[in-house]
Structures are given as C-alpha cells and as structure tokens.
Amino acid sequence: MLQIEHLSKKYSNGVHALDDVSLSINTGMFGLLGPNGAGKSSLMRTLATLQDADSGTAMLGDIDVLHNKEAVRSVLGYLPQEFGVYPRTSAVDLLDHLALLKGFSNSSERKEMVSSLLNKVNLYEHRKKAVSSYSGGMRQRFGIAQCLIGNPKLVIVDEPTAGLDPGERNRFYNILSEIGENIIVILSTHIVQDVRELCTQMAIMDKGKVLFSGDTDDALLQIKGKVWERKVDKADLTKFQNEYKIISSKLVGGKPLIHAYSDADLGNGFTKAEENLEDVFFAKLNELV
C-alpha cells in the first residue's frame, strides 16, 4: 500500500500546489483526476522523488518516500508527461542503456530483459528504429517499457494518452491494465474516460486539494438518480444556468445538452440521465456534491 498523509507543497510564487493531501492507494490501477493546475503533477513529482514536500508523509510499504529516495527509485517506474530521447538511438540500445543506469550490469541479463520488455509493449519488430522516429503511441509504449525495468512496485504515469489516436489509446490501456494486476499503478489524467475504463480506485483533485477518494463505483453512487438532462436553445443557456444546479453542458447537434443536479424530478422538459464519472467529476469541481 502507498499511504499518503497530510502532504503539502507551496511554491515560491505563492501557489499552494498540494494542500493537506491524504490518500490510501492499494495494488491495482489508481486514477488521479483533475483539471490542469489541480496539483496532480506536483503530487506525481513528489512521489517520484523529483521534488520535496513542505510537510506530510508518504510510505510505500515500509519505505519512507520523502526521506529514503534511493530506496524509492529502486522500485519505481515513472513515465512523465513528456520525456526526452537521444535522437539517433534505437529502442533496443536506449532501453539497454537505461537498464544499465538502473544497476543491471550483467549484459546477458539486460539483453534478455530488454527483449522481454519490447515484446510486452509490442515494439520488438521496431526495436532497431530510433525512438525519436516513433509515433506518439509507440513512444508512449516505449515509455511504459522503460517504466518496467527491474519489476517496480510502483508505476506512475502522468497524462499518458494525450494526443493518442483511438487505436493507440486502446493498446496503451491494455498494457496498463495488465501491469496493474500485481503492482500499484497511478494514472494521472484530466481525461475521465481513462479512469472509468482502467481504474477501480480514484481520486479527484482541484487547487491542490482532494475532493473525493474511493472506488469508482462509490463515486457514481453519490449522484445516482440525481442527474437530469435536456437540450436547450443557445439563447436560453444562461437562464438555465442561473435557475438550476448545472453540472455541465456540451453541444450535441448544434444545441447545448445540459446536465443538472437535483434530488427531485426537475420537470420542465428534463429527463433522468444515466450518471457517469464525468458527471461526478464536474459535480465535485462545481461543489454540487
């Protein structure tokens, strides 16, 4: 288990990136949802030992994450939002080099591990191509391969599917789901669908604070039977926003489709909507629940 308690971080510009964050994260996929600037990347960087917290604790099993960074790094796989590669280096050579940096000095052991990892992420046939020539999805799959060097206990991936086409997203989902069966995988994203499709545990963050933490099913139960929808004319959107607790609105067929929160039937053309994780996300951000 990864146990985070009362973690806080304030930057020199006054931004409170982490504000008393407490989370309990078990083995499996954990989704960390929040808009840009919510504090997700600050939390990820702190757990990945790339920055210090001002206060609080984080324990990965019996490892003190904040004060025993070398021990954390030996069991950590980290895929940041953007990672650099040597421009003319092939995937197999780069992965071998990274394995060497991580302490695997036996060349035959490294060769076997590198081949296994490239097969796992379906890149073996492209192993001799430069990573800089890979598509976005291939590069992210290579990123997962380097995450898995040395059988980590904790894997952190930060906004991994941004910019990927649907096919690459699905391939990426499948790899993450597989590795999340036996270790802790933290998926930081602002894409609600990523969390719904991959994770059984989740948290919602905004402005450095945790607004919700628990099972995805428990999150849906909080708004079950309380989400109503209807289409409105664009000219009437502001009126509806003033009169109802609007969760979200999006254009469907050129007209705004609004979701509203209410314990009782709203009438006035509203029908009950099937609640989804996106409704939970926006309801929490708008402080409706």
Kindly list the domain boundaries of the chain, sorted by start residue.
Answer: 2-220, 225-285
Query: Splitting the chain (289 residues) into consecutive groups of 10 residues, what average pLDDT does each group show?
Result: 95 91 95 90 93 95 94 90 79 93 90 93 92 87 90 88 79 85 90 86 94 91 93 93 93 92 93 91 89
Q: Which amino acid is at 123?
A: L
Residue with tokens 């192993």: 127
Whole-angstrom distance, CA of residue 232 vs CA of residue 215: 33
Q: Measure the CA angle with vertex 28, ends 24 and 31; round to 5°.
A: 65
Residue 136 has what pLDDT? Answer: 83
CATH among 3.40.50.2300, 2.60.34.10, 3.90.950.10, 3.40.50.300 for 2-220:
3.40.50.300
Q: How far apart are CA 227 and CA 246, in angstroms?
A: 10
Contact criterion met (CB below 8 Å) for 149 and 77: yes
**Coil, strand, or helix at residue 87?**
coil
Say what the pTM is.
Answer: 0.87
- Find, among 158, 176, 183, 157, the residue nearest to 60 by Cα: 183
